[in-house]
Amino acid sequence: MKDLELRVFEMSGKKRLLEEEYTAEEENENLSEEEDNEELIKRRNNWKVKINALKQVPVHRYALIRDVIVASITVARKSHLNNVAAELKTALQMIRDHSGGEAKHAALKILDKYGGYEGDDDEDEDFDALAAVGGDAPNTNEEEDVVVATMLADEFNWVSGSIGGEGDVDGSEWSKAIKECKSVSRLAALIQSFLSKADECLENLKEDNDRLLHVLRSKTALKKHDSANSIWCNVEVTTQLVKAKVTDYPWWPAHRCIPLDSSVKDALEGSGYAIVASVGNENASLFLVSEKDIVDFSSEPEDDLSQYDESVVQGMEEAMGMAKNLWKARNRGVASPWRTKKRPSPRFSDDESAEEKKEE
């Protein structure tokens, strides 16, 4: 069962996506030379300021406790502290009607786990600001993104944890649940859940593969191909980062892919098309893109971002941040192509200097 689960996990591309996220997050943990270290540390400690302030909040103010934890989760995510965000989500589950004591206690334990907060505990806090994501405006709609949708027991959630998992439940917890099975009925529930998810996943891959084969078998279909439609085939995802342009989306970071299916590889030879795997795509999709719509990763092709939805632009920017961290992790010691170059001071000849002084 574990081998089957891992195979589907790899085929779907979700394993690659998870590895990319981990690599990018680890790189983000390192203080970048391009940022002010003091400012970066301050930004990454914003969640601690908020959680520490819970010490002053009475447990009956459960709504405020909830809002502060929600805001802390959001700022932790924005600083790519995904482990912190996940643990705070667990504390958030402990909110109960008319009581926030358990959630408050759990959140403060998480704060202690990550080194506590070294600020002044006696300061008067602006709780409206602390419950805001940016620290200067009340939080309004962030809770929808972070509130856990269920209060069901962890054991129940583990049943659906295969093939990458959902939310804070992943394949490792699913495997652990398999190993700890002590009844046939429990094992049957876990297997049935896996088969249901695997059938859906494999059916989607088959549809994407059929679409690719249909396009490659006809020059007319290839010319009419919409690059935004996902495709699938067995590929090697290389470490070569590029930017790719698919229909109705801005230039997006991606990896070039090498088809392992000889018929697909032969069909692509000389076709002017290539397969790419976009970075940060939650579906781990592959795309068939024209070579003219693929540029070097360090290039800055012109693109009017105002024509896209705000959510699309935000997704692209997050993907670019992840891709840059991947590039840095793979190119240790190489100067970043995004580093701002200082312009040299203008130098004038003696005649030019004298003329300039006259005009002054």
Cβ atoms of residues 100 and 62 within 8 Å: yes
User: Quick one: pLDDT at residue 279?
Assistant: 93
- Compute the distance between CA of residue 61 and CA of residue 51 in angstroms, rounded to an integer: 14
**Residue found under tokens 């200082």:** 342
pLDDT digit string, tens, across residues 72-116: 888 888 777 878 888 898 888 888 766 788 889 999 999 998 888
Bridge partners, residue 236, by sequence? 258
Q: Which amino acid is located at 328 in the chain?
A: K
Q: Which of 62-71, 74-83, 231-240, 323-332 has the lowest mean pLDDT?
A: 74-83
Q: Are 59 and 99 in contact (CB under 8 A)?
A: yes
Query: d(Cα 133, Cα 197) in Å, to the nearest integer?
Result: 35
- Other Cβ atoms less than 10 A from the Cβ of 133: the count is 21
The long-range contacts involving 52-59, CB below 8 angstroms and separated by at least 24 positions, are 52/108, 52/111, 52/116, 52/117, 52/119, 52/121, 53/125, 53/127, 53/130, 54/104, 54/107, 54/108, 55/108, 55/121, 56/125, 57/100, 57/104, 57/127, 59/99, 59/100, 59/101, 59/104
Closest CA relative to residue 244, chosen from 257, 256, 253: 253
Instruction: Please check the confidence at residue 318 and state whether its pLDDT lies above 80.
Output: yes
Residue with tokens 């998870």: 18
Condensed to tens digits (0 to 9), the pLDDT of residues 103-157 reads 899 999 999 988 888 776 555 556 566 666 554 333 444 444 444 444 444 555 6
Strand ranges in the chain using DSSP code E only, listed in sequence order: 230-231, 235-244, 252-259, 273-278, 286-290, 294-296
* Distance, CA of 316 to chain centre: 11
Instruction: Report the C-alpha gap between 98 and 61 in whole angstroms.
Output: 7
The DSSP symbol for 59 reads T
> What is the tens place of the pLDDT at every residue in 200-248?
889 999 999 999 999 999 989 998 999 999 999 999 999 999 999 999 9
State pTM to two decimals: 0.61
Residues forming beta bridges with residue 276, ordered by sequence position: 256, 287
CA triplet 254, 256, 262: central angle to 5 degrees?
Answer: 145
Distance CA 147, CA 253 (A): 30
Instruction: Name the most confidently modeled range: 236-245, 321-330, 336-345.
Output: 236-245
- Structure confidence at residue 5 (pLDDT): 79
CB 257 within 8 A of CB 236: yes
CA 236/CA 57 separation, integer angstroms = 53
Across the chain, what does the average pLDDT equal? 79
The closest of 74, 95, 85, 107 to 167, measured between CA atoms, is 85
Q: What is the pLDDT of residues 162-215, one digit of tens each?
A: 776 654 455 666 777 788 788 888 888 888 888 888 898 899 999 999 999 999
CA distance 249 to 226: 12
